Amino acid sequence: MKKSPILIPQSTTAIPLPSVSVLIPVRNDEATIGAAVDSVLSQDYKGSVEVIVADGSDTAATSDLVRRLYPTVRLVSNPEQIITFGIQAAYKEATGEILVRCDAHTVFPPGYLSRVVSTLQRTGAANVGGRQRPVGTTFFGRAVAMAMTTPLGAGGARHRLGGAEGPVDTVFLGAFRRDVLEKVRGVDPTLGGAEDYELNWRLRARGEMVWFDPELVVDYQPRDTLGALARQYFNYGRWKQVVARRHPASLLPRHLASPLLLLGLIIAPLLAVVGNIVSVFWATMTVPLTYVLTLVLGSLTVGIRRRSYAALLLPLVLATMHLSWGIGFFTHIRTKRELVARWGLFRSVPAVLPSVSVVIPARNAEATIGAAIDSVLFQDYKGSVEVIVADGSDTAATSDLVRRLYPTVRLVPNPEQTAGFGLRAAHGAATGEILVRCDAHTVFPPGYLRRVVSILQRTGAANVGGRQHPVGTTFFECAVAMAMTTPLGAGGARYRLGGVEGPVDTVFLGAFRRDALEEVDGVDPTFVRNQDYELNWRLRARGEMVWFDPELVVDYQPRGTLGALARQYFDYGRWKRVVARRHPASLLPRHLASPLLLLGLIIAPLLAVVGGIASVFWAITVVLLTYGLILVLGSLTVGIRRRSYAALLLPLVLVTMHLSWGIGFFLSVRVGSTETGAPSP
């Protein structure tokens, strides 16, 4: 879209123009950072301009590009990889009297810097900004752009809809006078969203002005998938609640629209329970029907006015924005440690990074332990790192390999030969402030240690982990990997399926604060399986957080034979029952799915014995056919979506996982007062 230059009133004074620092937080933005920097360097501003890029990328691609093409641009590190920390890092390095925010996905129009500076001087405002103009490049993106610029999607926000020039609550991006920014100590880096609104609130609370100029229009690329849009608006609602708890008076009526809508959709049928069938129906249907009618009529009006077929998607887009925002607003979990971590005023990144101990329990792992250790030693973490291998092998092959190839790695014995005892032994030998678990069959991606440490510091969580990514090398392993990453095989576990960042019940592997681990006496070595879930339960029972980060993805090699898969899931079910006996409240609905399925398959024919042959036949047939139909249709859907013939084995794999888990759950044994069991091969 071609932009018209912004006309600037000519000054007749000879006063030198203030210096400007443009701050650009980036992360993996090598594809777009060039256009953003070019749009700044081509400005016609006559005063001094410096550009500072705060790079929090996973690789060196973005910083290498900036160094090569823009030698005058200053680069600063953002190890936290969060926008707010990047802004603060750039702000501390900036020398300008005016600080202008630019994002890596935005492009300043001609005359932007001249206009914001002249408006700051003319109005005396603390912050001057303009309007965000969403420009979609796909059919869905255009629908989102349309939604973001209508009252149904933007409320009355002038930075989305436009309007008259003057004071507002917030603006898009912003150009700040340095003197007032220093009075409020800049952006709060502990906020993961709504940081611009919160900063502007603090400025206005001090009697300063935030000024909206409708001629300052900056293009913005909206989300182009439904999932990405839902995650974006979930986070908007989530962090708006954090800001509202800290500054209750900052909450505006438009911020409550989505939460109230969600409440209406939930409460209407609940209230109707006390009425008769007719009132139940109408109370249940009135709210959603009114909402849907509003969406359809509003979308039709917008589509006709703007002459765009993208309006056909507007009802879906608007509903996603509204409901995701509302759910995020209500689902932000508050704990004492989280409040300290997120509301502590303007924490700085510690000058000395905490020491890290990576603990690896191993048994007969000579074929894979090298890749695991290499993935740790090649991390870019700047703090102290030690690696400890707890060897419980049947032979000396694994320990000999480690001694020969990795002389700096510490070896501790694990005579019990179980993961729980191995972790316990390694933890006892570790010296790090943070203890990171790594398995002998896993490989850490680049930046893993740096990211888990930064998230532990940002969230105050006791344990941070991510998603297990099964990678099969054979046809059968590919089918198992597929099963482990579908709801039919993983339930709702976020560490298997992925999902939004936030508190969860458990994660894959994990990076633990040593102090939190010592408070609960660490891993319970008597657990052969589920020791990670049981440990995380005890941490959460003490008010600690277990934090899931979907960007932490670690490859995992699934079982390669049907027998090995059956033994694995038998042990999973067996030890889940042990955990449930010790901590009954830890049992979730997804843990009961396989046991209940097994009961159904067993009880159906038993109950039918009291009937005739026909009832026996139908009882068995109905249960088996229903289950089989779910497996076949689910497998077919997954196979088509992922375009893999490995889905042909999915029904067999899923049946093995379900029944083995269920049998293990019912055959879990108790010996004396201690739950025990032999390790699986």
Can you tell me the mean pLDDT for 125-152? 86
pLDDT for 423: 87
Comparing C-alpha atoms, which of 555, 510, 514, 570 is closest to residue 537? Answer: 510
- Highest mean predicted confidence (pLDDT) among 211-220, 295-304, 607-616: 211-220
Give pLDDT tens digits for 497-540.
Answer: 777 888 888 888 889 998 888 888 888 877 777 788 888 888 88
Task: State the residue for tokens 């006015």.
Answer: 305
Q: What's the length of the chain? A: 681
Can you tell me the mean pLDDT for 452-459? 88
- Asked if 242 and 332 count as a contact pair (C-beta separation under 8 A), the reply is yes
Per-residue confidence band for 670, with pLDDT thresholds at 50, 70 and 90: low
At 93, the amino acid letter reads E
Of the candidate ranges 56-65, 213-222, 423-432, 644-653, the one whose mean pLDDT is the lowest:
644-653
DSSP, collapsed to helix, strand or coil, labels residue 673 as: coil
Tell me which H or E stretch contains 128. Answer: strand 127-134
Structure tokens at 626: 């229903």
List C-alpha distances in Å: 578 to 210, 492, 676. 59, 21, 9
pLDDT for 3: 46
Comparing C-alpha atoms, which of 627, 462, 429, 649 is closest to residue 559? Answer: 649
Look over the chain and give the mean of its residue pLDDT values, rounded to a whole number: 80
Comparing C-alpha atoms, which of 256, 223, 252 is closest to residue 326? Answer: 256
Helix 369-377 vs helix 397-405: angle between axes, to the nearest 10 degrees?
30
pLDDT for 11: 47
Can you tell me the mean pLDDT for 628-636? 76
Of the candidate ranges 109-118, 181-190, 452-461, 651-660, the one whose mean pLDDT is the lowest:
181-190
Give Cα 476 to chain centroid, integer Å: 30
The 3-state secondary structure of 344-396 reads CCCCCCCCCCCCEEEEEEECCCCCCHHHHHHHHHCCCCCCCEEEEEEECCCCC
Per-residue confidence band for 390, with pLDDT thresholds at 50, 70 and 90: very high
CA distance 529 to 569: 10
DSSP, collapsed to helix, strand or coil, labels residue 316 as: helix
pLDDT at 565 over 60: yes
Structure tokens at 2: 């071609």
- The answer for residues whose C-beta is within 8 angstroms of residue 129's C-beta and 6 or more apart is 116, 159, 171, 172, 173, 174, 175, 210, 211, 212, 213, 216
Pairing mode, strands 508-513 and 463-470: antiparallel
DSSP, collapsed to helix, strand or coil, labels residue 640 as: helix
pLDDT for 93: 87
- Residues forming beta bridges with residue 139, ordered by sequence position: none
Comparing C-alpha atoms, which of 677, 645, 657, 647 is closest to residue 493? Answer: 657
CA distance 24 to 103: 5
Task: State the residue for tokens 């969060």.
Answer: 82
Comparing C-alpha atoms, which of 656, 489, 662, 667 is closest to residue 566? Answer: 656
DSSP 107: B
Q: Which long-range contacts (CB under 8 A, 24 or more apart) does 345-353 make?
A: 345/185, 345/188, 346/88, 346/185, 346/186, 346/188, 346/189, 346/190, 347/189, 347/190, 348/88, 349/79, 349/80, 349/85, 349/457, 350/457, 352/383, 353/381, 353/382, 353/383, 353/384, 353/453
How much of the chain, in percent, has pLDDT values that exceed 90? 17
Comparing C-alpha atoms, which of 383, 462, 431 is closest to residue 79? Answer: 383
Domain ranges of the chain: 20-136+150-220, 349-567
More confident residue, 409 or 81: 409
CA distance 246 to 13: 44
pLDDT for 23: 94
* CATH number for the domain running over 349-567: 3.90.550.10
Give the ranges where 430-528 is alpha helix by DSSP (H): 448-459, 475-484, 487-490, 494-497, 514-519
- Asked if 185 and 142 count as a contact pair (C-beta separation under 8 A), the reply is no
Per-residue confidence band for 281, with pLDDT thresholds at 50, 70 and 90: low
Structure tokens at 158: 């002038």
pLDDT at 335 over 50: no
pLDDT for 271: 57
- Asked if 33 and 105 count as a contact pair (C-beta separation under 8 A), the reply is no
Give Cα 137 to chain centroid, integer Å: 25
Helices and strands in the chain: count of H runs, count of E runs = 27, 16
How many other CB atoms are there within 10 angstroms of residue 284's CB atom? Answer: 17
CA distance 162 to 666: 63
Give pLDDT tens digits for 223-250.
Answer: 878 888 888 888 888 888 877 777 777 7
Give pLDDT tens digits for 588-602.
Answer: 777 777 777 777 777
DSSP, collapsed to helix, strand or coil, labels residue 4 as: coil
pLDDT for 314: 85
CA distance 517 to 462: 8
More confident residue, 74 or 534: 74
pLDDT for 386: 94
pLDDT for 346: 37
- The answer for residues whose C-beta is within 8 angstroms of residue 105's C-beta and 6 or more apart is 29, 32, 36, 220, 221
pLDDT for 464: 93
DSSP 253: G
List C-alpha distances in Å: 218 to 6, 130, 213, 606. 12, 8, 12, 69
Comparing C-alpha atoms, which of 356, 554, 528 is closest to residue 456? Answer: 356
Same topology, domains 20-136+150-220 and 349-567? Answer is: yes
Comparing C-alpha atoms, which of 559, 538, 520, 659 is closest to residue 602? Answer: 659
| b/e burial code for range 196-226 (CB count within 10 A of at least 16 → b) | bbbbbbbbbeeebbbbbbebbbbbbbbbbee
pLDDT at 673 over 70: no
Per-residue confidence band for 671, with pLDDT thresholds at 50, 70 and 90: very low
Structure tokens at 29: 């933005």
Give the ranges where 10-127 is alpha helix by DSSP (H): 33-41, 61-69, 83-93, 112-123
Give pLDDT tens digits for 358-378.
Answer: 999 998 888 888 888 988 988
Of the candidate ranges 209-213, 407-411, 583-587, the one whose mean pLDDT is the lowest:
583-587
How many other CB atoms are there within 10 angstroms of residue 347's CB atom? Answer: 16
Of the candidate ranges 91-95, 277-281, 481-485, the one whose mean pLDDT is the lowest:
277-281
pLDDT at 332 over 70: no
The pTM is what? 0.48
CA distance 313 to 141: 10
pLDDT at 276 over 70: no
Per-residue confidence band for 285, with pLDDT thresholds at 50, 70 and 90: low
* CATH number for the domain running over 20-136+150-220: 3.90.550.10
More confident residue, 386 or 484: 386
pLDDT at 619 over 70: no
pLDDT at 605 over 80: no
Structure tokens at 167: 């004071």
DSSP, collapsed to helix, strand or coil, labels residue 172 as: strand
